[in-house]
Structure formats: C-alpha cells, structure tokens
Amino acid sequence: MRILFLGDVVGRSGRVGVLETLPKLRERYRADFVVVNGENSAGGFGISEAILNELLDAGADVVTTGNHIWDQREALVFIERHDRLLRPINYPPGTPGKGAGLFKAANGADVLVINAQGRVFMPDLDDPFSAIERELSACRLKSGADAILIDFHAEATSEKQALGHFVDGRASVVIGTHTHVPTADDQVLNGGTAYVSDAGMCGDFDSVLGMDKEEPISRFLTKINSRRFVPSRGEATVCGLGIEVDDATGLSRAIAPVRLGGRLSQTEPAFWLDES
C-alpha cells in the first residue's frame, strides 16, 4: 500500500500549492491513501468548511489537525458533519468531532488514522499515549486495520520519538507535525513502524514558520505584539512523506520525504519513481 502524507497547510500559499500539486502527485505516485494536515489552512489559523471540502476534492482521504483546530469557531459545528476531518483524540470527553477513524483506501484496504496532540510545551490535554493505546487495543494492526497512521501534533522531538518507539511494531507509521520544519530523521524503526519527527509545512519558507517575517522578528526584538501574524504569500514548498506499507504485515517497508516547489531542496520517494 502507498500512503502519501502532506504536512501542515499554511494560509493561501499552502492551499494553492496543495490544491495544484496533490491531484498530480496522487496519480504520479499511484497513492492508495492520502492524509493532509489542514489545521493552519484558513489564514494561517484553523480550517473552514469550504477549505476542508477543497482539500478533500483535491484528493485527500482524511484531513488531520492540531492545536489550532478551533481557531475558526465554525469548526465546532461543521466538524460533526465531516467524518473525514479529525481533531486530536486526547481532547476531553464531550469535545465535538472525533480523533480517530477507520477509512477505506483506493486499494480496498482499511486504514486507521489517529490524530493526537502532544503535551510538552503545548496546551495541556489528556495523555496522548493512553488515548493512542486505547485505539490500538481496540483496532489492532491486521486484525482490525490493514494499516495504521498516527499524526502526532507535538512540539518536542523527544515526545514524538518516545511515541514512535512506544507504538513500534503496532502501527504502520508515526508522523510528527506542528513545528512546520521538515526533519531529516525519516526511518523505519526496529519493529517496522515508519517514523519522522516532523513532516514540515506546505507553505512559503521565505517566512517565519509560514508567517510574514516582520511581526515575528519585531516580537523577538521588542516583546510587543504590534499586529497579528499574517501568512506569507510567496510560492509554497509542498512538504510531506511517502510511505510504502507491506500488505501482508501492515508494517512499513520504506519512508522518504516529499519536497516540491518553492525554496527548499526538491526530493521525491525514489522507491516510487523507480517503479513508475
């Protein structure tokens, strides 16, 4: 099975990059399943229903989020209408929406997607490790799902790495999101779970984490919030990962970064291109 994951979509630049690129990538890679983190897609803060539908129409099977899920207040309402939009699973009971779901891939496989949020240097939610453990116990790899993908939206790389090893051999892939900076530690762990600390963002990298540079620099210099952050509008780099999952075991054979467009060095999964 071929899984494509795209990192945090930031503002108009990121949306345009993903909407223009994703349909071509899905065909080029012959991807069976696509997950996109859309939590910064509406002006850099949250997601709207219209943008969610655009991402789904462009080829996303599931849209994950993170700590900005409720920045657009309408999300509290429309998330109940969209099974394919996830919010972190470790929000308290009674929070609108859901944090995990079983979805059908293009090849007919059942894919469990879990969206969780870290707690180190982040808003204090319930324990993500326990929440993920409950999901993995209820829907085990190859008996309940053909593949399991975890989007762990967290700040600290130590927390992300700990979670990767915690579920190693029980999930197909753990992908870190939130920091907007792609990391170079993509690997298949000893037990067969693919892992990366951060997928990076789909946005303009001539920026500070996707935002116009002036205000963040000013805040560091003066400690004064002069104006709100505004997403940078330059050409986006579309960042993500390609993951090759073994159909027999549900574990990963390979993982490699995707970086296309914009300012960053360009790369695609060679194990897919060589076979195309």
Residues annotated catalytic, as ranges: 68
Residue of 11, 69, 73, 76 lying closest to 42 (CA atoms)? 11
Residue of 6, 176, 204, 129 lying closest to 186 (CA atoms)? 176
- The two tokens of residue 68 are 């900005």
Amino acid at 145: A
- The two tokens of residue 13 are 């630049």
Residue of 195, 179, 181, 169 lying closest to 255 (CA atoms)? 195
Distance CA 15, CA 13 (A): 5
What 8-state DSSP symbol labels residue 81?
G
Residue of 21, 92, 97 lying closest to 65 (CA atoms)? 97
Mention every residue, 6+ apart, whose C-beta is less than 8 A from residue 73.
none
